[in-house]
Amino acid sequence: MIDTRHLRRPLAGIASLAAASLVLAACSSGDSDTSGSLEDVDPDEVSGEISLLTPIFEGTEGQKLLEDELLPQFYAEYPNVKVSVDYTTYGNLNEKLTTAAVSGQVPDVMLMGVGWIEGFAAKDFLADMSDLGLTQDVLLESYEPTIVEAGMYDGGVYGVPIMLDTRIGIARMDILEEAGYDAPPATWDELIEMSEALTVRNGGTLERAGFDLLSNDSRQVFETFLFSAGGALFNEDNTAPAFNEQPGIDALTLMTELINTYKVEDIGFASTDQAVHPLINGRAAMGLSHNNLWTQAEDVDPEILQHMEPFLITGEQPGMFFGGTFATRSANSSSPEAAQAFLEFLTSPDIALAANEQRGNVPALKELLETEYVESNRFVQFSLENLEYAQREGGPASWLEVRGDFAPAIESALLQQKTPEEALNDLAALVESTLARS
């Protein structure tokens, strides 16, 4: 295995693995490459020019972190490797990856989101890192099973987590205490009751939402409630939708009733592209939020942070959604050892911690729970403490094709154009046809 002694590697088990021959997955053009085990490779002998495609480390701040602080550490260890970085945004990552894949110009190391890996792995663009010792068992020593599983496809390990982002409940305790509550809701029933009580209207005009669920992507909000209802997006082998079963219907019914029956928020009151989250300026008493609400509030009104309390949306079970950024390696890299070395560098504790700190996100490594950064960010800390409940989206290789169909279906139920059951069944039919096609 590559020597990364300077990095306090969490993947201690890797070093003890027996040497395995590196058999790269065949690339789309039919090339293949073979190299020996990396276990005994001298870092000075690892060489090559590799490329990194990244939707993180963006902007001057991110680039300075990567190029001025992190890469020099890597070059100190691997002096004969050169990394060229292609910065993009998550909004355009899919186009970058798709055109790269079509043209055969696949970057050696690619950072991509949860739910993305399956599609690219299925098309043989990504290398199975089990061949180099990064097996599921090794990763399970450092990460929660659900996090490891997010980087896997068809039994192989194709992605290693760098950072996570979560969707959790947040309560404004100052507002709750004014209304006589001393803790966030612990059940769906409490959520409904408290949201109703905390909603403020002035002559029919909503002034404060009791529970805000419109500031986030509606698909991810639905998934959080779905997970808390004990449901899943797909069946176990990801061959059929499961989101239209009873837990899914219950989850979407709750969302629909919160808006239309209990009237705790009005359509249009909040949106994903608003200038400020309603929990920050008091336009909402509770809500479902991205963990980066902490850093947003720090920028706008640090005083408000003392009043913000994270909680898990709990129905049949505690529910938490997680997305994230995983490091993957191209199956047809001309310098697989160099690419693997760089991937392991990016996912190592110190480097992942720095990347998470820059974005205000949740480190995937359990061992980082007691770091200063995590302890200074209550939402990150809470997310990391409760990762056992976190579930993700994705599963089938065609997830990226179908995920765009979720929002219109969910919104049709919220707008009462369809019942929750109709909306989910129609969506399931769409998803089934895509799954059948692929």
Partner 1 sequence: MSTTTDLVLDEEPGATPKAPRTTSAKGAKTRSTIILHVLLMVGAITMIIPFLWMIFTSVKTNAELAANPPTFFPTEWRWENYPEALDAARFDLYFRNSFIIATGHTLITLVFGSMAGYSLARIPFRGRNIVFLAMVAMLMIPTYTKIVPQFLIVKMMPLFGGNDILGQGGSGWLDSWWALLIPGGLSATSIFLFRQFYLSLPKELEEAARIDGLGEFRIFAQIYTPLIKPAIATVGLLTFQESWNNFLWPLLVTTSENLRVIQVGLAVFQQLDATAWQYLMAGTTLATVPMVLLFIFAQKYFIQGFTNTGIK
Binding site for partner 1 (CB under 8 A): 51, 53, 58-61, 63, 84-92, 95-96, 98-99, 102-103, 105, 107, 165, 273, 275-276, 280-283, 290, 292, 295-296, 299-301
Instruction: Write the DSSP assignment of 344-413 as a string of letters.
Output: HHHTSHHHHHHHHHHHT-EES-GGGGGSHHHHH-HHHHHHHHTGGGEE-S--STTHHHHGGGHHHHHHHH
What's the sign of the alpha-carbon dihedral 226, 231, 235, 241? negative
The residue (of 130 and 292) whose beta carbon lies closer to partner 1 is 292
* Of 391, 371, 389, 390, the residue nearest 381 (C-alpha): 371
The residue (of 234 and 322) whose beta carbon lies closer to partner 1 is 322
In angstroms, give the least distance from the CB of 316 to partner 1: 28
In angstroms, give the least distance from the CB of 400 to partner 1: 14
In angstroms, give the least distance from the CB of 279 to partner 1: 11
The residue (of 276 and 354) whose beta carbon lies closer to partner 1 is 276
Q: CB under 8 Å to 59, separation ≥6 — which residues?
A: none
Instruction: Write the DSSP assignment of 109-157 as a string of letters.
Output: EEEEETTTHHHHHHTT-B--GGGGT--HHHHHTTS-HHHHHHTEETTEE
In angstroms, give the least distance from the CB of 108 to partner 1: 12
The residue (of 152 and 170) whose beta carbon lies closer to partner 1 is 170
Please tell me the number of Cα atoms within 13 Å of 229 on its side-chain side: 23
> Residue 354 in contact with residue 69, Cβ under 8 Å?
yes
In angstroms, give the least distance from the CB of 34 to partner 1: 22
Residues 171-183 as b/e (b if ≥16 CB within 10 A, e otherwise) read bbbebbeeeebee
In angstroms, give the least distance from the CB of 51 to partner 1: 7
The residue (of 175 and 424) whose beta carbon lies closer to partner 1 is 175
The residue (of 228 and 358) whose beta carbon lies closer to partner 1 is 358
* Rg for the chain, CA atoms, rounded: 22
The DSSP secondary-structure symbol of 58 reads -
The residue (of 104 and 145) whose beta carbon lies closer to partner 1 is 104
In angstroms, give the least distance from the CB of 109 to partner 1: 13
What's the sign of the alpha-carbon dihedral 376, 378, 384, 385? positive
